[in-house]
Amino acid sequence: MDAVHPIDYRYGTEEMKSIWSERSKINRMISVEIALLKALARRGYLSEEEVKKAEKAALNITPERVKAIEAEIKHDVMALVRAISEEVGKVSPEAARWIHFGATSNDITDTATATQLRDSLKLLGTKISRLALALTEKAIKHKNTICLGRTHGQAALPTTYGFRFALWAAEVARYLERLEELKPRLIVGQLSGAVGSQAAFGEDGINIEREVMKELGLKPALISSQIIPRDHYCEYLSFLANLSATLEKIATNIRILQRVEVSELMESFGEKQVGSSTMPHKKNPIDCENVCGLARVIRGFVEPQRQSSILWEERDLTNSSCERITLVESSVLADHILTKMIKVVERLEVNEERAKENLRRLMGLNLSEAVMVALTKKGMNRQEAHERVRMAAMKAYGGKSFEESLLEDEKISKLLSAEEIRELLTPENYLGTVKVKIENVKNYVEKLCSKYQNER
**Quick one: which of 248, 144, 136 has its CA closest to 256?**
248
User: 5 an active-site residue?
Assistant: no
Is the model's pLDDT at 456 over the cut of 60?
no
User: 142 an active-site residue?
Assistant: no
Maximum alpha-carbon separation in the chain: 102
What would the mean pLDDT of 429-449 be, rounded to a whole number? Answer: 97
How far is Cα 108 from Cα 446, in angstroms, rounded to an integer? 39
Torsion angle defined by CA atoms of residues 109, 115, 120 and 126, in that order, rounded to the nearest 10 degrees: 180
Q: Please give the C-alpha separations between residue 282 and each of 277, 286, 297, in angstroms, as whole numbers.
A: 9, 11, 27
Question: What band does 263 get if pLDDT is binned at 50, 70 and 90?
Answer: very high
Q: Tens of pLDDT along 395-430?
A: 998 888 999 999 999 999 999 999 999 999 999 999
How far is Cα 264 from Cα 259, in angstroms, rounded to an integer? 8
Mean pLDDT of the residues in the chain: 95
Helix axes 105-141, 434-455, angle to 10 degrees: 140
State the pLDDT at residue 3: 86
Is the model's pLDDT at 433 over the cut of 60?
yes
Torsion angle defined by CA atoms of residues 254, 260, 264 and 269, in that order, rounded to the nearest 10 degrees: 70
Contact between 193 and 111 under an 8 Å Cβ cutoff? The reply is: no
State the pLDDT at residue 249: 98
Of 276, 309, 321, 417, the catalytic one is 276
Question: What band does 276 get if pLDDT is binned at 50, 70 and 90?
Answer: confident
List all residues 6 or more positions away from 260 whose beta carbon is below 8 Å from its beta carbon.
none
Contact between 337 and 14 under an 8 Å Cβ cutoff? The reply is: no
How far is Cα 66 from Cα 255, in angstroms, rounded to an integer? 47
State what percent of residues in the chain have pLDDT above 90: 92
State the pLDDT at residue 23: 95
Contact between 402 and 392 under an 8 Å Cβ cutoff? The reply is: yes
Return the H-helix or E-strand segment holding 220. strand 219-220
Q: Tens of pLDDT along 105-123?
A: 999 999 999 999 999 999 9
Is the model's pLDDT at 454 over the cut of 90?
no
How far is Cα 63 from Cα 25, in angstroms, rounded to an integer? 10
State the pLDDT at residue 399: 80
Give the DSSP letter string of 226-256. SS--THHHHHHHHHHHHHHHHHHHHHHHHHH
Is the model's pLDDT at 53 over the cut of 60?
yes
Q: Position 269: which residue type?
A: F
Q: Tens of pLDDT along 340-361?
A: 999 999 999 999 999 999 999 9
Is the model's pLDDT at 56 over the cut of 80?
yes
Q: Tens of pLDDT along 24-36?
A: 999 999 999 999 9
State the pLDDT at residue 455: 60
- 141-170 burial: b if 16+ Cβ within 10 Å, else e: ebbebbbbbbeeeebebbbbbbbbbbbbbb
What would the mean pLDDT of 149-156 be, rounded to a whole number? Answer: 96
State the pLDDT at residue 194: 95
Q: Tens of pLDDT along 61-103?
A: 999 999 999 999 999 999 999 999 999 999 999 999 999 999 9
Can you list the domains of the chain with their CATH numbers?
14-97 (1.10.275.10), 105-269+278-358 (1.20.200.10), 364-424 (1.10.40.30)
Question: Kind of pairing, strands 219-220 and 188-189?
Answer: parallel
HSE, CB side, 13 Å, CA atoms: give it for residue 57.
22
